Chains A and B, each alone.
Chain A
Amino acid sequence: MRRGWQVACVCLLGVFVPALVTSLDYSLTDALGPGPGFFPFWLSAIGIALCLAMLVQLVRGGVVSHDAAALPLSRQAALQAGAVLLALTMAAAFLEPLGFRLTMLPFIAGLLLALGARSLLAVALCAVAGSFGVFHVFYYWLKVPLPIGVLGI
């Protein structure tokens, strides 16, 4: 877990340092007081200081005890989490081109099967309800527009 915290500190630095640099493009003060760059600049500076202090703390052995382990991560868990992320990203990518119904149908069915659902009938029903059913409720009853893709569906 200590390694995880060190990585986290480095990632945070990777956010705070560019933020500090970018905030210099905006004026730090103006006639009335703090300008658009003021808070971003000082917040980034404080953030950098905190990250460095944390790194020092970690090196000296504090915060995270030596033998503390992060939550266990099995191969299966990692694969499933990866599958979920992949499915989400692809669904987001195809949501507007293919439309809500045509994207959610394979998304629901595929993910259910990938995660081990067994009854094909239940999977099919859920997929249809979750895509076409939900679309109908939102678009026609609630008047909330959901994307319709190039195929007109």
Chain B
Amino acid sequence: MDTLQHLMAGLAAAMSWQNLAFALMGCTLGTLIGVLPGLGPAAGTAILIPLTFRLDPTGGLIMLSAIYYGAMYGGTITSVLINVPGEAASVVTCFDGYQMAKQGRGGTALGVAAVGSFIGGIAATVALVVVAPPLARLALSFGPPEFFALMLVGLGLVTSLAGRSLLAGLAMAVLGLLIAMVGIDPVRGAPRFTFGIPSLYDGVGFIPVVMGLFGIAEILLTMGASDRQVITPTLTSLLPSREERRRSAGAIGRGAGIGFFLGLIPGVGAIIPTFVAYVLEKRLSKTPEKFGQGAIEGVAAPETANNAYANAAMIPLLTLGIPSSPTIAVLMGAFIVNGLTPGPFLFQERPDLVWAVIASFFLGNILLLVLNLPLVGLWARILHLPHQYVSVGTLLFCMLGAYSLQQNVFDVGVMIVCGIIGYGMRRIDLPVAPLVLGLILGPFIEKSLRTSLEMSGGDFSIFLTRPLCLALLVVGGLILLGSALRLAPAEIRESSTN
């Protein structure tokens, strides 16, 4: 088969000592960038582009791609250990990963995340090799109306994240959606709810908000608990139990699928696949109440999904030349600066280079696993330091992260305020996840609605005349109906007890 030949040739090229070294450097740097606050993959990649001027194109691209999916893993480490998402896509891992760490199972969580990421990445790359061009066309059929419908379906996930009170979950989602409206609006291009504060012109800022809601709030909550015992993990407890392995297997499989398919759709972003995978696992689980308390599937699913997403998001870039996210756009910039234009023609003009880069994805995922798995025990030991050092270290980390995003103290202030809010919410058990979901989806929903209407000249029927859009809306409606029928009776019953 032609593809297989190309792949073999690519593997041979990727396994040269030089290219392996670049992949290794990329994975290491990427993990570091993911761990370090504020330095998201986009900024880190941009700073490193000048490096690629001096390297040969293949090596440079291998390294940059490795940085990209390596960073996906780095963000996990801080999510699990200190409840601070090192990077936006790792938010969902906080829900259960950190709880596992508190129970002394941090090493297991990181291990499962590493394995899941590996499987997700490999699966997505295999799919890339086998079905790339036809599936890539699928990406094109997701125009603004389909995107709008997809985001609405995503919003329907909120019912599964509500916790003890559906009304509270909905209210939090509404709050998140509303906060997302601060900034320049997509309709007039004019500031909205900014009260004359220039720092708000671009919105409230997702990363400071989640750093506050999760990281700072957690620190405030653990104050005064100096007498809590830190469970010392024995070597065997670093491994998941058989029961856990079984549950993770399913979660990993489903997470990989979700991450892959969403990765094909430009613009989705890495966070949404993690939410979808998480909620799916919760819905399918026989013990949904364990989610949020340290369920291993709650770590396996989102982690697999986000690595599958990162690898799959390369497909629109390589086959069609369409970058799926700002970070990948930076990667594309690196291609162009080196004189190569990603797209269907690149496959034909320089198959040697493209296949070498694709082959390096396989190798990179293996390298990531090899790099991170042994270090898992080491990372987990950080939690054994005296709690003052862990707490103050986390606070330093958060301050650094919030400030270095835009060199703006305002972001630090936002983080602190959200820390207080998160603290209050946790104390009375108000659900945080719906707020985060609303915050993420808000801009997408409004912008895609507006763009759809600009395309149709104000005609709403565009949502009903495009088959894929209609299908998505119907699916979304059914899911919502199903949730309502399932949850409402219980909710109504609940309000008249006691």
- On A, residues with C-beta under 8 Å from B are 1, 4-5, 8, 12, 15-16, 19, 22, 26, 30-36, 39-40, 43-44, 46-47, 50-51, 53-54, 56-57, 60-66, 70-71, 73-74, 76-81, 84-85, 87-89, 91-92, 95-96, 100, 104, 107-108, 111-112, 115-117, 122, 126, 130, 134, 138, 142-147
In whole angstroms, what is the CA distance A12 to B170 when docked? 12
Let me know if B224 and A80 touch, CB within 8 A.
yes
Return the 9 tightest CB-CB contacts between A and B, nearest first.
A77-B224, A62-B495, A4-B428, A80-B223, A61-B498, A115-B388, A36-B185, A32-B458, A50-B171
Let me know if B175 and A47 touch, CB within 8 A.
yes
Name A92's contact: one of B223, B226, B412 (CB within 8 Å).
B412
Let me know if B409 and A95 touch, CB within 8 A.
yes
Let me know if A108 and B396 touch, CB within 8 A.
yes
Let me know if B225 and A108 touch, CB within 8 A.
no
Given contacts A15-B175, A54-B167, A88-B416, contact A115 B392 (CB under 8 A): yes
Instruction: Tell me, rounded to whole Å, the shortest Cβ–Cβ distance linking A7 to chain B.
Output: 8
Which residues from 418 to 444 on chain B have a C-beta closer than 8 Å to any C-beta of chain A?
A: 419-420, 423-430
Question: Can you show 18 pairs from A to B with CB atoms below 8 A apart?
Answer: A1-B428, A12-B175, A36-B185, A57-B167, A62-B497, A63-B165, A70-B428, A70-B429, A77-B224, A77-B225, A88-B399, A88-B416, A92-B412, A116-B388, A138-B400, A143-B47, A144-B39, A144-B43
The segment from B128-136, B278-286, B449-457 that touches chain A is B449-457
Instruction: Tell me, rounded to whole Å, the shortest Cβ–Cβ distance linking B33 to chain A.
Output: 9
Let me know if A50 and B167 touch, CB within 8 A.
yes
Let me know if A8 and B389 touch, CB within 8 A.
no
Given contacts A50-B174, A85-B420, contact A95 B392 (CB under 8 A): no
Let me know if A85 and B416 touch, CB within 8 A.
yes
Interfacial chain A residues near B426, Cβ < 8 Å? 71
In whole angstroms, what is the CA distance A31 to B188 when docked? 12
Instruction: Tell me, rounded to whole Å, the shortest Cβ–Cβ distance linking A126 to chain B.
Output: 7
A40, A74, A96 — most chain B CB neighbours (10 Å): A40
Given contacts A35-B187, A36-B192, A71-B427, contact A145 B396 (CB under 8 A): no
Residue of A nearest to B407 (CB): A145
Let me know if B423 and A81 touch, CB within 8 A.
yes
Let me know if B223 and A34 touch, CB within 8 A.
no
Let me know if B224 and A76 touch, CB within 8 A.
yes
Let me know if B416 and A66 touch, CB within 8 A.
no
Let me know if B388 and A44 touch, CB within 8 A.
no
Q: Is B347 an interface residue (CB 8 A)?
A: no
In whole angstroms, what is the CA distance A137 to B178 when docked? 38
Interfacial chain A residues near B430, Cβ < 8 Å? 5, 8
The segment from B89-97, B98-106, B214-222 that touches chain A is B214-222
Instruction: Tell me, rounded to whole Å, the shortest Cβ–Cβ distance linking A56 to chain B.
Output: 8
Residue of B nearest to A4 (CB): B428
Let me know if A92 and B388 touch, CB within 8 A.
no
Given contacts A36-B192, A62-B494, A95-B412, contact A117 B386 (CB under 8 A): yes
Let me know if B404 and A138 touch, CB within 8 A.
yes
In whole angstroms, what is the CA distance A76 to B226 when docked? 10
Given contacts A54-B165, A138-B400, contact A70 B427 (CB under 8 A): yes
Given contacts A115-B388, A116-B388, contact A47 B174 (CB under 8 A): yes
